[in-house]
């Protein structure tokens, strides 16, 4: 089994300190995770990336603003502000060149903003990252659960709804997968997670009009079991961006890096090698 060492840093940004786990040395890859969870959702894919890549790299695994061990959010924010916080993070990391950005869901949304600037991002992988706002029916369901999240946290029906949105039934029953999600849910405060939900999901905006401004090589990855980001959605988004392609991975819902790490790593490495 591949082993590696990591160190942690706290990186100051306009949305507070971001908890970063850093592995390796070389060209920088930023791995930014989904809403609700944190950088440990990359733990299963990282060994595949390292073992399969001939190029040594510095992998920076980020807990997003208000989530994981990053500082709590204290006010509503936006995906655009999260992207500006990511720019603060990149300035602090001093990569010396544009980075390869790999984002899952929320992380993909941040990457779609950053990738309009080729001085910041060399390539983009956006995984399970819808380019439209959430659908009205899903918004209504989330609004019903938001007061419970704020009051009691991600337990009971709130936790069940989050797990159902993130994982297939098979993944939710996998003893290697479900603890990663549940542990992630325990780390942030109730207030911070509620603000993150409002800021990065409920208030997410349509970015299809900006896809033509992404001029870096991009890979949009859909799963076969997420209703609001279908393979057709990914193909349509890729068609709007000059250097984008789209693929679909099976056996996953939202947390593709956690659910299908080997297949996702292989797809990312092919993309890096072909760009």
Q: Is the pLDDT of residue 30 over 90?
A: yes
Given pLDDT bands bounded at 50, 70 and 90, which one contains residue 3? Answer: low
pLDDT at 136: 85
**How do residues 234-256 score in pLDDT, each as one tens digit?**
999 999 999 999 999 999 999 99
CA-CA distance, 135 to 13, in Å (whole number)? 31
- pTM for this one? 0.96
pLDDT, the chain, mean: 95
Q: Which residue bears the tokens 């990282």?
A: 46
Q: With 70 as the cut, is the pLDDT of residue 181 above it? A: yes
Better-scored residue on pLDDT, 139 or 15: 15
Residue 121 has pLDDT above 60, yes or no: yes
Question: Are 223 and 255 in contact, with CB atoms under 8 Å apart?
Answer: no
Residue extents of the structural domains in the chain: 6-274
Provide the pLDDT for residue 2.
58
What's the rounded mean pLDDT across residues 182-200? 96
User: For residue 60, is pLDDT > 80?
Assistant: yes
Query: What's the confidence (pLDDT) of residue 143?
Result: 87
**Phi (first) and psi of residue 253, to 5 degrees:** -115, -95
Q: Is the pLDDT of residue 1 over 60?
A: no
- Output the CATH code of domain 6-274: 3.40.50.1820
3-state secondary structure of 235: helix
């Amino acid at each position: 089994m591949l082993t590696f060492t990591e160190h942690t840093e706290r990186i100051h940004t306009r949305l507070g300190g971001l908890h970063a786990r850093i592995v390796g040395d070389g060209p920088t890859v930023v791995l930014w995770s989904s809403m609700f969870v944190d950088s440990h959702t990359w733990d299963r894919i990282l060994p595949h990336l390292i073992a399969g890549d001939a190029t040594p790299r510095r992998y920076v695994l980020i807990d997003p603003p208000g989530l994981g061990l990053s500082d709590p959010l204290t006010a509503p924010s936006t995906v655009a502000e999260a992207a500006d916080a990511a720019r603060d993070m990149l300035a602090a990391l001093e990569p010396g060149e544009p980075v390869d950005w790999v984002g899952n869901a929320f992380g993909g949304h941040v990457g779609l903003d950053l990738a309009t600037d080729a001085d910041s991002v060399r390539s983009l992988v956006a995984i399970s990252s819808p380019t439209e706002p959430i659908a009205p029916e899903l918004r209504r369901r989330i609004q019903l659960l938001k007061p419970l999240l704020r009051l009691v946290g991600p337990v009971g029906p709130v936790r069940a709804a989050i797990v159902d949105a993130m994982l297939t039934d098979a993944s939710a029953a996998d003893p290697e997968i479900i603890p990663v999600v549940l542990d992630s849910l325990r780390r942030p405060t109730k207030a911070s997670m509620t603000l993150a939900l409002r800021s990065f999901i409920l208030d997410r905006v349509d970015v299809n009009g900006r896809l033509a401004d992404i001029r870096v090589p991009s890979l949009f990855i859909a799963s076969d079991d997420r209703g609001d980001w279908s393979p057709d959605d990914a193909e349509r988004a890729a068609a709007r961006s000059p250097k984008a392609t789209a693929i679909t991975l099976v056996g996953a819902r939202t947390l593709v890096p956690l659910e299908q790490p080997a297949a996702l790593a292989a797809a990312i490495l092919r993309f890096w090698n072909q760009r």
